[in-house]
Chain A
């Protein structure tokens, strides 16, 4: 029998069985770390802002977070499948522009429903373009989606050359409402989690994790790897359209650059939420927590009178650390075994 190397290294690095159990728990529930981080950020934020936990302030915060949360859910699905989508922000801009141009104060309910379908179709089409290029043409996800982001940004500017528009108040009112004293956005977040849990229980999810985890093995097993990759980008496009709807309802107007700075945030949130950028592992709940941490953090930055570029810097550092971590760990292990 060959040496049981994985087992022996495990016991060597975690002689303490409690520590081992903790590590196991974390590896099974990667969002636990994010949850702890959330508590810390929230407490710091609370110290700077007394009314943080009051309904009005909670509502205002969560509803401004919501577009990024919805968008990051789509990003998570792509990342689990082994890809990444750098065009998510541009898709939001594009669909936001569509909504703003087509919805006015006079729009009837039926008209609005029609426009929502158009927006959803636009998001899905954009995602399908990404998915087709990545899954079937085998193009690099990063390069492809970076390129298509310019296409979507351009379309946004074409549809809505400058910020403006005035969409139906009813939509804005709904978005700000607090039925049963619970912010509307909490219902949406709850809905996202339910949708995720349903998706997670399907065969599609098994295929998703297999595709992201080890595509060759998945293919050999008969997983339709290309179709799964394609579907992650399509779903991501749909979530971008929903995020655009949330943004439109939040601001009541349109901006062809509305999604620009959301892309990086979604990726940082995915990482913070415990999903590995190389794919095959992680989940949506962690990402939702990740977005909230990020946004609370920028609250702290603005309350503490720290220059706002700190936020960008910290985002960049989180991504770099997440990207470099596997390489650093490998290098350390190689050095150790070489001695």
Chain B
């Protein structure tokens, strides 16, 4: 059952955003290849292309030396490729066994053979015996299972297809250590039987445990493959973060001790947030880090009044509790959303309209269009926006320029507190540089900025202080020299309290 797969120069674009610019990898029977890279480096996109979920714009896939192309996950599965996905591909309202056997249910005549399904499911679950609870039965509904057991069902689902190549995409993220150990034993067995495994993760420890070689992705490009046995962590990290030089050294003068407090948050709780307390100062760029989805976005949304929360928030010396973004805007708070296309821009409207959307009130009734135009023109120059004209549609802008409009519309209101929700996701490196200058200018003008970024390099290069989140909690507050990749990674795991919050 030997197998080999190679991807060459694979490209995937979503509109103007390049998710994968040059994806390459090779994996052989009996080995585990790790796909390594920072958040948003294209790991998931590349694995989705290999499994046929996403169709690439360019590039080639070779399976056992033959050129293949998949137009659906089914195509890939037919030739023996399956994946365990990070965002689970399970249907919550269906049972464990229905989920596992979906699309290849055992049948007698036209009837789905439930007994055979149950038997097959028991056999698969038996692989995890001793690490799962009694509640995980073939007839349990997936929505009633805890996250770790859902993940195990997802793994069983991939195995039920008897694949030759398995992609484990962050498959260990919600497993406990015992379950990870069991998965490790299983993977050893798969290797021995000639399967190939692609292991996608950003946990160095597990990559070292599972994988033989690692292919590193950076900004959507494969930047090299190394044998893990003779490569140090720091060499790998270097490959992942090269280009961080773009951000310059940390040469900024430290924040004066007497910088006024713009925002003081105490004991904030909400959707995913557990007891968050911190301060942000005028002229400070406060970073928020940690793995994806640990409550960072929720914090920003709560501060902007977009989701309910409890706790105390003191803004500019006044106690506030925003229940609607309008209230936050009235207090000079601005929010730059993470998803440009859905939250940040009206794609089918002009640049002018997009820029002024939050500030039309300034221009009276009827609107003084001449003044609005002049203002917009000035900010276009300030932002160094490359666009045909103010009347061009927002959808015609490239990723970086679109991002400038998203931010520019808030800068026109000269905010005192700017909240940024992972603003550079999918923005190319050059545009990022200009964006950083913009942030710096704003910081110098005395605004307090809170930046959530899934890109650790940004946090290291830009921020005065960084708060690290794990599972809705603040696990560390790093300042000055403490803001290092090692500390960020450690704190984001939540488990190793090397750098405790004060």
Contact = CB atoms under 8 A, between A and B. Distances in A.
A283 to B, nearest CB: 12
B143 interface: yes
B110 A202 contact: yes
A153 B331 CA distance: 55
A1 B148 CA distance: 7
Most chain B beta-carbon neighbours within 10 Å: one of A3, A7, A214, A217: A217
What class of interface size applies to chain B in its complex with A?
35 or more
A17 interface: no
Nearest to B91: A213
Interface residues of A, number: 35
A280 B89 CA distance: 15
A338 B148 CA distance: 25
A7 B74 contact: no
B107 A2 contact: no
Contacts of B471: 2-3
B301 to A, nearest CB: 12
B147 interface: yes
A264 interface: no
A281 B105 contact: no
A10 interface: yes
Contact of B92 (A7, A201, A213, A335): A213
A202 B143 contact: no
A209 B94 contact: yes
B146 A210 contact: no
Interface string B124-166: 0000000000010000010111111000000001000000000
B93 A338 contact: no
Interface stretch (A35-43, A103-111, A220-228): A220-228
Given A210-B102, A222-B103, A10 B88 contact: no
Given A2-B471, A10-B144, A201-B112, A210 B94 contact: yes
Contact of A280 (B88, B93, B135, B176): B93
A6 B135 CA distance: 12
Contact of B308 (A219, A220, A335): A335
B325 interface: no
Contacts of B112: 201-203, 205-206
A13 interface: no
Contact of A281 (B89, B93, B110, B111): B93
B271 A218 contact: no
Given A1-B176, A203-B105, A338 B146 contact: no
Contacts of A280: 91, 93
Contacts of A210: 91, 94, 102
Interface string B155-188: 0010000000000000000111101000000000
A16 interface: no
Given A2-B147, A203-B112, A281-B93, 6 more contacts: A1-B179, A4-B146, A220-B85, A221-B102, A222-B103, A280-B93
5 contacts: A5-B147, A206-B98, A206-B112, A222-B102, A334-B271
